[in-house]
Structure 1
Amino acid sequence: MAKYEIIVADMERKIAQGHYRSGDKLPSVRDATKAYECSVSTIIRAYAELEKLHAIYSVSQSGYYVVEKTEDTSAVRANESIDFASASPDLNVFPYRDFQHCLNKAIDTYKYHLFTYGDPQGLDRLRQTLVSHLADSQVFAKAERIFVTSGAQQALEILAKMPFPNGKRLILVEQPSYDLYLRFLEAENIPVRGIERTAEGIDLRKLEAIFESGNVKFFYTMSRFHNPLGTSYSVEERKAIAGLAGKYDVYVVEDDYMADLGEERSFDPIFAYDRNSRVVYLKSFSKIIFPGLRLGAAVLPHELLDTFRSFKRSGDTSLLSQAALEVYIGNGMYERHKHKIGSEYASRIRALNVALQRYNSGGLIEVSKVNSGIYVQLKLPLTVNLERLTQRLAARNIHVVPGKPFYLPDYLEREKFLRISISRTRLDQIDEGVKAIVEEVGRRETS
């Protein structure tokens, strides 16, 4: 990431967090040069980029100022809801103007080719761009192994229905796990079994015993920023899972849907430790750009390519969206926005952790240890009535998601918890929301 891009991301973060408010004058070029320890030309380029984004404007012989907004959103308004439930990206950090530019550029570049039937595997130039993009996450694969899909969900559904070379039928899922996928597996009557995963991790001996049973087609897992736990597997767990998959001829479907939201740079997915071509790697772009874009990528072992292609059948993913994403990644905008949104969400997670330490000092609620991503699990006392708790919080305009939907109906070893998401929660709302949750959990009427 270039120095000027780092400065742009930092300035955007400071504007979003109110360090620089609507109408405020920014540091002069000279002062900014000292603060960021860079050249004058670097600051000038950074300010020029911020002007292009309509975040600031310049006044001749005066300086640079934050664009004035028609309303002040910095204060919490009366009766405004606090959304700890939604997993969709924050509308206020969507890269509208950047992506609009990429759409226009894509139309100019590809012209009429965008309005024909595409290759079921995806736009060739996007897949070529994804080769280097995925390599940054230690996912090394040639373009021929990459499929562009309508979000990660389409890939998950195809993988569940298609036969695998190991001839097995059972899908093993973590408990808890992604609720929409669990509902899909139930609706399709696909054989499924659960294995417990907690904030502390997974029992590798139990996992090996299930793999050894001989009927597991694939193990569906979220190696980092698990939904709903928010936690990530340790290096030892990731290596062990990859090794067990090869040992027992079990495939692993690794849903790395929030790969770009972490601040840490040293996380290697299970795919990076796969020595037996048993890991399918899935990535979604919805959490970084727009959910409505519906674009994801699947990296498949060679032996699954033909079957996956036959099940996907047609070019069902918008060519315009693919072309725009190729431009967005290729010109560096994606990388810059990734750092911006990752930093924003990390600030909210830190604020959440601080608030929980302040109000949950008695340890009434068990909190998963999370420093990145968007989810945190709040494990509750068994005496708490979850339905009543969520109703009372809703009456206070605080919306949360209970843990029940993240389990299979017949899975009995359930934890009682709330899944907290910070993606739609403003920084200034978090303290108030956490205080209310702890208060309501502590009320005797919850039992």
Structure 2
Amino acid sequence: MSMYKYLTLLNEIETKIKSGIYKQGEKIPSIRSLSEIYNCNKSTVISALNELERKHVIYSLPKSGYYVVTTKNVSDHGKVPKFNFSSSAPDPAVFPYLDFQHCINQAIDIYKNDLFIYGTPKGLPSLVDVIQKQLANYQVFTSKENIFITSGVQQALSILAALPFPNNKQTILLEQPGYHLFIEALQTMQIPVIGIRRTSEGINFTELERLFQEENIKFFYTMPRYHNPLGTSYSQKEKYEILKLAQKYDVFIVEDDYLVDFEQNSKADPIYSYDNSKNVIYLKSYSKIIFPGLRIGIAVIPDSLINVFSSYKRILDVDSSMLSQAALEIYINSGMFEKHKEKMNAAYYLRSKCLTTALKNNLNQSNQNLFKYTPVKNICVHTYVELDKRISCEKVINRLRRKSILVDGVNNNYLKSFPINDSIIKINVSNVDEEHIEEGVSQIVKEIY
């Protein structure tokens, strides 16, 4: 049986069920029909159908065929939100479970005992080779010696926050609002940290230069692409200006490119691509495009920090999961990652367009004084609206929650020492199907109004 044909058939049937082509309760094509449609033998079809039945996606009736499982009504006890605009995790409906399960099984067959002993702090060497080639697609050209596999980007950030830097500076600078988990980690570890405001217009470069010059900045942590939580991106000119100031004042840049795989503009290069003096540390995540439980991140570390970063990483956890690394290597090498990436890109781009259109459609003369939405050129799967100061953001969020519509504010995205803009509501459509986005956004706007 061809594993490729088996996975292709399985994914195709599941996609058609999720998209409604094969509707709940209805019979799907016969084994013979599927065999002819997909040009494969009946045993391949039967294996795919058995797997779908095992997952409770379909069920069989003797002498009748296979039918799509009808979703049971959820009791009030375990009420599921009607619209979840708060989750930033990938949509569970598109997790590549079976593909990745196949890669895990293959990894065990190939590497055997090597996966169940301690590895190396830098990561599985064969995965590092694959990552080096993949990074080049993002205009991140580096040697293998500079690449570290970490347990997610969060671990890389914790290590960087703790270790001494060659510039002998101590304070970390963050965009505000910013990544809430890193903010929480810094405040918990009591590491010196200050903020600089970021809005839909970007940041104030005069203020950035002042902070670089006066505040003993060790590194500036930034999300140039699809900022969390704003969803905005810096222009190439702004990226270059940030780098120029960092080089002038001997400040490192930690560039978190966590959504690079969803970039639609092929000319939108990272700050790292301009860096000749090695001031930029580049971070990449896989959790947003594959699934959150895959705790693998990439850190591209400058020569001046390799030894100390390696030492700190070894002390913290010896190495990251070897089994996950081996499976990821196979997943990328087999072409499954690129195929899944194209699928996710198409889905998220469509959702992003629907979100942008829905917000524009719901912004009219009667409510434009109550909230502000700033369209961005580089549309993202998440964005925000800013309420009039007289409207309580917390009350709007609570009213929406009672209607099973989940949205979030940004209070947790600010340092305790930084003035909070508590008029912002984040809207994320990672887990909202495109056909529901317009209705959901309309409900949000009505509640504001």
Same fold (TM over 0.5): yes
Q: Partner of 2:353 in structure 1?
A: 350
Q: Would you say 1:366 and 2:365 are equivalent positions?
A: no
Label 1:229 to 1:51 Cα distance change in 2 as closer, same or farther (>3 A): farther
Q: Partner of 2:206 in structure 1?
A: 205
CA-to-aligned-CA distance 1:73-105 (integer Å, 9 cap, x gap): 9x9999752111111111100001100111111
Q: Would you say 1:391 and 2:409 are equivalent positions?
A: no
Identify the match of residue 438 of structure 1 among 435, 442, 445: 445
Label 1:121 to 1:273 Cα distance change in 2 as closer, same or farther (>3 A): same
Query: Aligned runs of 1:211-250 on 2, under 5 Å?
Result: 211-213=212-214, 215-250=216-251
Q: Secondary structure at the match of 1:401?
A: coil
The answer to whether the 8 Å contact 1:13/1:344 transfers is: no
Percent identity, please.
44
Report the Cα distance in structure 2 between the residues aligned to 1:202 and 1:24, rounded to whole angstroms.
Answer: 56
Report the Cα distance in structure 2 between the residues aligned to 1:13 and 1:275, rounded to whole angstroms.
Answer: 45
Q: Secondary structure at the match of 1:209?
A: helix
Deviation at 1:391, TM superposition (A): 0.8
Identify the match of residue 382 of structure 1 among 377, 381, 389: 389
Identify the match of residue 323 of structure 1 among 308, 326, 336: 326
Identify the match of residue 340 of structure 1 among 337, 340, 343: 343
Label 1:155 to 1:436 Cα distance change in 2 as closer, same or farther (>3 A): same
| Gapped regions of structure 1 (runs ≥ 5) | 27-42, 57-66, 443-447
CA-to-aligned-CA distance 1:400-421 (integer Å, 9 cap, x gap): 1102111111212636201111
Query: Aligned runs of 1:40-439 on 2, under 5 Å?
Result: 69-71=68-70, 80-81=80-81, 82-213=83-214, 215-313=216-314, 314-362=317-365, 363=368, 364-370=370-376, 372-412=379-419, 414=421, 416-439=423-446
The answer to whether the 8 Å contact 2:153/2:284 transfers is: yes
Residue identity opposite 1:241 in structure 2: I
Report the Cα distance in structure 2 between the residues aligned to 1:158 and 1:233, rounded to whole angstroms.
Answer: 26
Q: Secondary structure at the match of 2:239?
A: helix
Report the Cα distance in structure 2 between the residues aligned to 1:357 and 1:427, rounded to whole angstroms.
Answer: 15
Report the Cα distance in structure 2 between the residues aligned to 1:200 and 1:101, rounded to whole angstroms.
Answer: 45
Report the Cα distance in structure 2 between the residues aligned to 1:88 and 1:395, rounded to whole angstroms.
Answer: 22
Report the Cα distance in structure 2 between the residues aligned to 1:236 and 1:431, rounded to whole angstroms.
Answer: 34
The answer to whether the 8 Å contact 1:131/1:142 transfers is: yes
* Deviation larger for 352-361 or 303-312: 352-361
| Gapped regions of structure 2 (runs ≥ 5) | 30-37, 53-65
Label 1:52 to 1:432 Cα distance change in 2 as closer, same or farther (>3 A): farther
What RMSD in Å do the two structures reach over aligned CA positions?
3.2
- How many equivalent pairs are there? 412
The answer to whether the 8 Å contact 1:254/1:282 transfers is: yes
TM-score when normalising by structure 1:
0.84
Report the Cα distance in structure 2 between the residues aligned to 1:24 and 1:274, rounded to whole angstroms.
Answer: 58
TM-score when normalising by structure 2:
0.84
Q: Secondary structure at the match of 1:198?
A: coil
Label 1:413 to 1:284 Cα distance change in 2 as closer, same or farther (>3 A): same
The answer to whether the 8 Å contact 2:393/2:422 transfers is: no
Deviation at 1:342, TM superposition (A): 1.5
Report the Cα distance in structure 1 between the residues aligned to 2:27 and 2:146, rounded to whole angstroms.
Answer: 50
Report the Cα distance in structure 1 between the residues aligned to 2:45 and 2:231, rounded to whole angstroms.
Answer: 33
Q: Secondary structure at the match of 1:379?
A: strand
Label 1:187 to 1:51 Cα distance change in 2 as closer, same or farther (>3 A): farther
Label 1:295 to 1:348 Cα distance change in 2 as closer, same or farther (>3 A): same
Q: Secondary structure at the match of 2:293?
A: helix
CA-to-aligned-CA distance 1:12-49 (integer Å, 9 cap, x gap): 878754467676999xxxxxxxxxxxxxxxx969xxx9
